[in-house]
Chain A
Amino acid sequence: MYRYIPFLSLLFFSCICKAQNEKINIRTVNHIFLTDSHGDSIRKYLNSTYYRQGPKGLLIAAYYSNKLQVSPDEVENQAPKIKEYTNRPNGTYEVSADSYAGQYAIPILDTLGVIVTVNGINPENAHQYEFRVLENKTEEIVGWSTPALFVPIYMMSRIADPAKEDKVSAYLGQFKAKQGNALTIQIRERANPAVITASLSAYWLTWKPRVVGIFTFSELPDFLTVFHNQWGNQILGNSYNRNWRAKTRLLRIKHAFNHDDNNLIFYLDDIIGSKNITQFNLLSDKDSTGWKGNNFDFNLVWLKNLSPGNYTLKLRYSLQPEQITSYKFSINAAWYQTIWAKLGLSVLFLSTIGFIVLIWQSRKQSQRLKAQLSSKQMVQTELKSIRSQFNPHFVFNALSSIQGLITKNDSENASKYLREFSTLMRESLRASNHEFVSILTETKILENYLKLEQLRFGFLYHIAIDPALDINAIEIPSLFLQPMVENAVKHGVSTLQEAGILHISFKEVNNDMIVCVKDNGKGFISNTNSTGFGLQLSKERINLLNQTLNNQQISLSITRADDETQVSIQFKNWLL
């Protein structure tokens, strides 16, 4: 411990005293006393306690650091040895504000030690007095000496000669001792060496902070009551209430707190003169804040917003950093702060988000479906309008052909073609109500149509269907081939009369179906004007159909080779 003293004094009090290696300095005056004119520096840094035996006795004063004061009762409990040194056996004593009010040795906590002055001894009468310093009552570390140093008198004046006021007091020296030891400064008159005229003792104490009560945020009113109890009287200029602890039962020590009691005020029992004095280090399960200065001048440490967990609050005074108090406490987790609750809540949170996203997506999906559906409906309406367009030229030409038969009196054939015509009309009307019809139905209609056209132009036609195709089951867009066959008749075989050959074929190629309409006419590619309408409609219909088909596509190509025109329609993936 001893080896720390120089370091500590350098650290904390280099401003008020030069580093002093000696335990005892009776040769020079501490510069606080030297430079102080009105006692301001003394009051700033030091507390003082005075003792005087009898109204005319010498007034012996002790000055010591005001950074930290301890309760006399507590000191007596903690260091009973102090009771061996009585500082006021009888007679009067005076106590300055904020000074130590105990009746035993003055507890000294820091390296400044104690400075002793005596009022009533001045340079004129100093030769009548001598003083000595005893360590632990027995060892004389300063033998009987005549006071040699004088300083301007501070506050209290002792009139040596009742006729005049003293301007100076004797400065006996600055004394230090190891912790656990006591120094006693005694004064006697040379004329009467058997009697100690004045004396005081100081005891070097080891000291650490003690938590005397804890207040949660909800107990703030209790805290204020206690605080007022302790410090309220100070407003009147008095010292703090010495018995503040005895008067209250509000001080409670607790070690476990609820999750919402996460603002804690730790109440200490010493009187702290500066916020740098108290230092704390809060250790949680894994972490620690490191030593920090307190945020308050007062004897309390306020920890805010603590999360649930187990803590150790370590407290120390900067004056004696090796003296550490540990206070263990815990803040219980609320149900929602436990790992499981957190997990559960985050799962809940995530699933809520997921749910919302899902709802959002499904709503979007349904909107998209709706949009698709409506566009599909639009496409279908358009398709329907295309389907229902049966070339009126054909209708009336067919009727005209039948009329020709009637005028030729060929009633048998007239009746036959009339039936063909009515069947064609019926079937095509029916087919126009369906998006798709079986190959059988479609080819029936084509055949009806071709028979009627045959009546007019006399060409040959042939419909060949791959036997692998189930014509009853496989469907194609209704009346799909009619415009192409009509083109082949109109621009192909019609002019050739009996020499005209029209060939329609349905073939299966892998999963595709290929339908070809071939004629040996002069071709209609060059003759763009008149081909336009029927094929244009077909192409439009293919476009629309392809929009509604999934993975199935229809494509149309027209080629001319070997004096033949071939329209070929590929139904891709049609047989899947």
Chain B
Amino acid sequence: MIRAVIVDDERNNIDTIAGMLLKYNMPVNIVGVATNADEGIEQILATEPDLLFLDIQMPGKDGFDLLRALPHSQFEIIFVTAFDQYGISAVKFSAIDYLLKPLDPNELQEAINKVTAKVKNKRENVQLQNLMELIRDKDAKKEHKLALASTKEIRFVPTGEIIRCESSNAYTEFFLVNGESIVVSRPIFEYEELLIGYDFIRCHQSHLVNMKFIKSLIKEDAGYLLLQNDTRIPLSRSKKENVLQALNTIKK
């Protein structure tokens, strides 16, 4: 049985999660609940759970404050949030699962299944560590690591080492500085949202490019971007103006 703690500022939501786990016979034993961050910390330190259901947005200290106050990251975490704007990009950055309210039993089941697998061969939660790093120096906008989850492993790649991403339907291929490429089964637009704050630009429907690797913009035909490794990335008409604007602001 997975030992879990639930932290949510609304009692009803705690009951919903607990009720659903019970209703669908999921192998989870709730060892503690809390309706604010401080209580949550106490519960976690006291019970040392395998899994934490954590609401991000709470009055006073939020979910991230709670995580910051914890001495270790030796537990799995499932974020539960009402609206996926607040802080969710940090979570996505580390490829950590999150559930949206109202909960979908299927999604909950899937998340629990993953946790079960991880708990079996217990080790450091690297995704959580990455998240901690990320939220620690959130303002110092430096080389954060993006979690690229393939079926076999999760790779953490500094954003500055990603040259570009290319879409092929539901998959996104990452091209790294060292010549490697990683295929992730997530659509490109999700990464666009994550990487747009790290000077990446969507220059084409299928292409997301790290601007620091752009050598020049060639205006032949519809135009294309010439990267430092001499790769040519097409420009789509609808994106061209945005690209020009973005490249100009970078120069200034």
Residues of A within 8 A of B (CB): 415, 418-419, 422-423, 426, 429-430, 436-438, 440-441, 470-475, 549-552, 573, 576
B237, A426: Cβ atoms under 8 Å?
no
Which residues of chain B come closer than 8 Å to A415, judged between CB atoms? 102
| Residue contact A576 to B222, C-beta cutoff 8 Å | yes
Residues on A with C-beta less than 8 A from B103 are: 419
The CA-CA distance from A441 to B100 in the complex, in Å, is 17
Q: Is B43 an interface residue (CB 8 A)?
A: no
Binds A, one of B52-60, B119-127, B137-145, B165-173: B165-173
B237 and A573 form a contact (CB under 8 A): yes
Residues of A within 8 A of B188 (CB): 472-473
How far in angstroms is the closest Cβ of chain B from A477?
A: 10
Contacts of B15 in A (CB 8 A): none
A470 touching B237, Cβ below 8 Å: no
Cβ-closest chain B residue relative to A471: B169
A-B contact pairs, 19 of them (CB 8 A): A422-B100, A426-B100, A430-B85, A438-B187, A440-B189, A470-B205, A470-B206, A472-B169, A472-B170, A472-B187, A472-B189, A473-B169, A473-B187, A473-B205, A473-B206, A475-B238, A549-B238, A550-B237, A550-B238
* B189 contact set on A, CB distance < 8 A: 437-438, 440-441, 472-473, 475
Contact, CB under 8 Å: A419 / B104: yes
Task: State in angstroms the CA–CA spacing of A430 and B189 once bound together.
Answer: 13
B170 near A426: Cβ-Cβ < 8 Å: no
A415→B19 CA distance, assembly (Å): 13
Tell me the minimal C-beta distance from B240 to chain A in angstroms.
Answer: 7
Task: Kindly state the separation between the CA atoms of A408 and B70 in the bound complex, as whole angstroms.
Answer: 47
Most chain A CB neighbours (cut-off 10 Å) among B103, B104, B238: B238
Inter-chain contact A551/B237, CB cutoff 8 Å? yes
Q: Which residues of B contact A576 (CB under 8 A)?
A: 222, 236-237
How far is A436 from B104 in the complex, measured between Cα atoms in Å? 27
Nearest-CB residue, chain A, relative to B205: A473
Give the distance in Å from the alpha carbon of A300 to the alpha carbon of B222 in the complex. 78
Residues of B near A436 (CB, < 8 A) are 238
Contact call A550/B240, Cβ cutoff below 8 A: yes
Q: Which residues of B are found within 8 Å of A552, using beta-carbon distances?
A: 237-238
Closest to A440 in B: B187
Interface: B101 (CB within 8 A): yes
CA A419 – CA B168 in complex, angstroms? 29
Q: Which residue of B lies closest to A550 (CB)?
A: B237
Report the Cα distance A102→B149, complex, angstroms. 126
Flag whether B241 is at the interface (Cβ < 8 A).
Answer: yes
Contact of B205 among A418, A475, A551, A573 (CB under 8 A): A475
| Chain A minimum-CB-distance residue to B236 | A576
Instruction: Judge whether B169 and A470 touch: CB under 8 Å.
Output: yes
Give A552 to B238 CA distance when docked, in angstroms: 7
Q: How many angstroms from the CA of A423 to the CA of B103 in the assembled complex?
A: 10
Closest chain-B Cβ to A296's Cβ sits at a distance in Å of 70
Beyond A473-B187, A475-B189: 6 further Cβ-contacts under 8 Å? A440-B187, A472-B170, A472-B188, A473-B205, A549-B238, A576-B236
